[in-house]
Amino acid sequence: MARKKITIIGAGNVGAEVARQVLAQNLGNVVLVDIAEGLAQGKALDMNQSGPILGYQGRVVGTQNYEETIDSDIIVVTSGSPRKPGMSRDDLFKTNFAIIQAVVGHAASASPQAIIIVVTNPLDVMTYTALKTANCPKERVFGMAGILDSARYRYFLSEALQVSQHVIEAMVLGGHGDEMVPCVSLTRVAGAPITELMSLEQLEKIAQRTRTGGGEIVKLLKTGSAYYAPAAAAVRMVAAVLNDEKALLPCATLLQGEYGFADIVLGVPVIIGCQGVERVVEIQLEAQDKEALTKSAGVTQPLCRQVDEWLN
Ligand code: APR
């Protein structure tokens, strides 16, 4: 069987780490694309030279255009502009909207059957932009946020409780921002409800640290933002598609009535398999989680309408 082809757009910190993890997990060959001259080519060469030591089977090609990406199975979009000093969230939104529109336009026409995983922020509305630009069935374009946010939450919980992170089950739903929803009702430790092991007060502190988890890392790094965990989360989604796992994961997907929301992209539990988002799973949420999800959707809604306006 031929190796799968995974295109990664953006060879910055996140894109390069996605490439490295795809190779390490032997998921296929990688095409790394970046607009910056030599960046993707240089990182590809460096990674390929680690192959004889680490025993990768796949290869990486670095490029500035889309020829090499033709007929990719999966496209991971990480290209974007970082938020520069003095830049508002709105400025970043506009800049990255233009970048997503351009790169997805090229990549989707080179690989009309590909599944597209969006990582660029602001995540939910960039996923919406990618879906509208690719103009393909909604199951084929979705975004990475929930797996990362849930991993941060699970890590903080495991530290606080001093138990293995493997026994902590949790889902962070909603938008990938300050209004994300670490669902209390879906948080369990080896099957036991979290509220039996921790006070609500302590739990809320951990939920809040999760909501600002990305910012905490930005502050420490001073330049740049998190990339090891974001890349791991994106590669988790790549593996779920390529292995047709039917994995239940929180991902950003277009809702059309599910959870009571329509025409917005929001993080909800979905089944990921070879078709992409094969199904949205509607879990009965407790009132407080449902209320928080509605608040989160309220933040994303006007951004999606703004994209509709820009695209018309
Ligand atoms: N085409 C291709 N590559 C592009 C384009 C474009 N039109 N515009 C920008 N890029 C590239 C940049 O040249 C840069 O190498 O995208 C890369 C982004 O890399 P970084 O600045 O290192 O950002 P990174 O930390 O990788 O984050 C990427 O993921 O988690 C999110 O918020 C994060 O939106 C950001 C994205």
8 A C-beta contact, residue 135 and residue 95 = no
Task: State residue 72's pLDDT score.
Answer: 98
Which strand ranges, in their side-by-side order, compose the sheet holding 188-189?
A: 168-169, 188-189, 192-193
Nearest CA to ligand 1 atom 22: 12
CA separation for the pair 51, 149 (Å, rounded): 31
Task: State residue 90's pLDDT score.
Answer: 78
Task: State residue 235's pLDDT score.
Answer: 98
User: In the chain, which residue ranges form alpha helices assigned H by DSSP?
Assistant: 13-24, 39-54, 89-110, 123-134, 146-161, 200-211, 213-221, 228-242, 287-311
Task: State residue 245's pLDDT score.
Answer: 98
Average the pLDDT over 30-41 and give the result.
Answer: 98
Average the pLDDT over 219-246 and give the result.
Answer: 96
Tell me which DSSP letter residue 62 carries: E
Amino acid in position 166: H
Task: State residue 7's pLDDT score.
Answer: 98
* Residues carrying an active site annotation: 176
Q: Out of 225, 228, 235, 237, give the residue to mutate to test ligand 1, the one with the largest number of ligand atoms within 8 Å of its CB.
A: 225
8 A C-beta contact, residue 137 and residue 112 = no
Q: Out of 32, 33, 35, give the residue to mutate to test ligand 1, the one with the largest number of ligand atoms within 8 Å of its CB.
A: 35
- Residue 36 Cβ < 6 Å to ligand 1: yes
Task: State residue 125's pLDDT score.
Answer: 97
Task: State residue 88's pLDDT score.
Answer: 76
Q: Out of 8, 14, 152, 228, give the residue to mutate to test ligand 1, the one with the largest number of ligand atoms within 8 Å of its CB.
A: 14
Nearest CA to ligand 1 atom 36: 120
- Residue 265 bridge partners (DSSP): 254
Reply yes or no on whether the pLDDT at 233 is more than 90.
yes
- Residue 101 Cβ < 6 Å to ligand 1: no
Distance 16 CA to ligand 1 centre (A): 10
pLDDT digits (tens, 9 = 90+) for 113-125: 999 999 999 999 9
Phi–psi pair at 210, nearest 5 degrees:
-65, -45
- The structure's pTM equals 0.98
- Residue 177 Cβ < 6 Å to ligand 1: no
pLDDT tier at 95, thresholds 50, 70, 90? very high
CA separation for the pair 96, 68 (Å, rounded): 23
pLDDT digits (tens, 9 = 90+) for 38-68: 999 999 999 999 999 999 999 999 999 999 9
- Specify the fold of 146-311: L-2-Hydroxyisocaproate Dehydrogenase; Chain A, domain 2 (3.90.110)
User: Range(s) for CATH 3.90.110.10 in the chain?
Assistant: 146-311
- Specify the fold of 5-143: Rossmann fold (3.40.50)
Task: State residue 1's pLDDT score.
Answer: 79
pLDDT digits (tens, 9 = 90+) for 171-190: 999 999 889 999 999 999 99
Q: Is 49 helix (H, G, I), strand (E, B) or coil?
A: helix
Could you please report the per-residue DSSP string of 228-249? HHHHHHHHHHHHHHHTT--EEE
Average the pLDDT over 121-136 and give the result.
Answer: 97
What six digits make up the tokens of 282? 């509607």
Distance 9 CA to ligand 1 centre (A): 8
Nearest CA to ligand 1 atom 29: 120
Across the chain, mean pLDDT equals 96
Residue 117 vs residues 27, 157, 248: alpha-carbon distances, Å: 15, 28, 16
Task: Output the CA angle 22-119-203, nearest 5 degrees.
Answer: 100
Nearest CA to ligand 1 atom 16: 79
CA atoms within 13 A on the CB side of 19: 32
pLDDT digits (tens, 9 = 90+) for 255-278: 999 999 999 999 999 999 999 999
CA-126 nearest atom, ligand 1: 34
Q: Is 57 helix (H, G, I), strand (E, B) or coil?
A: coil
8 A C-beta contact, residue 270 and residue 142 = yes
pLDDT digits (tens, 9 = 90+) for 280-305: 999 999 999 999 999 999 999 999 99
Per DSSP, the chain holds a count of helices (H) and strands (E) of 9, 14
- Residue 224 Cβ < 6 Å to ligand 1: yes
Task: State residue 165's pLDDT score.
Answer: 95
In residues, how long is the chain? 312
Q: For tokens 């989680």, what's the residue?
A: 289
User: Range(s) for CATH 3.40.50.720 in the chain?
Assistant: 5-143
% of the chain residues with pLDDT over 90: 94
Neighbours of 233 (CB within 10 A): 25
- 160 Cβ contact list (under 8 Å, min separation 6): 198, 202, 206
Amino acid in position 92: L
What six digits make up the tokens of 152? 């941060």
Reply yes or no on whether the pLDDT at 91 is more than 90.
no
8 A C-beta contact, residue 120 and residue 80 = yes
